[in-house]
Amino acid sequence: NLMGARLAGSHGDTQEPKTNPLVSISDEPETLYKRLSILVKGHDKAVLDSYEYFAVLAAKELGISVEKVEKPQKTIERFTLLKSVHIYKKHRVQYEMRTHYMCLELKYLTSSTAAVYLEYVQRNLPEGVAMEVKKTKIEKIPEHIQKPVWDTLPQVEETEVKS
């Protein structure tokens, strides 16, 4: 009879639900973001392409709508130096740094979803890649702006000037 069997270490008479201490419940309302713009910079195009695939896949798994993924034009920075410090002015060497960009725009997020997504994506950021995040928050229109100003101004009577 398996109905009467108990597992070792478990108490059958406790019916309290288990609570996770890592989950916190707060009374303050969620912040809503209209747009979350993530700009990723790196020197290796293949690494950025792979990271783009990862970031979009992670967003889709969390149910976040991806507005657009664009790749702005790369910037090339060149340095021209002398091969020898003291002589041979004609002999030079040229170095260049190519910085590739990838911009990912997500729309309509809550603050908790954005925090979870950003933490996950930043922890898996490849070496040699930098990230910039811009958040556009949705806010309620303040009271003093909701009513038009022209409704609150007193009416000015027009006076005719007779000469």
Task: Tell me the domain boundaries of the chain.
Answer: 37-137
Q: Using DSSP bridges, classify how beta strands 75-82 and 92-110 pair: parallel, antiparallel or unpaired.
A: antiparallel
pLDDT number for residue 14 = 53
- Determine whether domain 37-137 maps to CATH 3.40.50.150: no
- Give average pLDDT by consecutive 10-residue segment, the chain, 163 residues: 50 54 68 93 95 95 92 94 87 94 94 93 94 92 75 67 65
- Provide the terminal-to-terminal Cα distance of the chain, rounded to the nearest Å: 114
The values of phi and psi at residue 68, to 5°, are -160, 155
Q: Indicate the burial class of 51 (C-beta count within 10 angstroms; 0-12, 13-18, 19 or more).
A: buried
Q: Could you tell me which residues come within 8 angstroms of residue 44 by beta carbon, excluding any fewer than 6 positions away?
A: 100, 128
Q: How far apart are CA 107 and CA 32, in angstroms?
A: 10
pLDDT at position 78, please?
A: 95
Of the candidates 92, 75, 90, the residue with the CA atom closest to the CA atom of residue 41 = 75
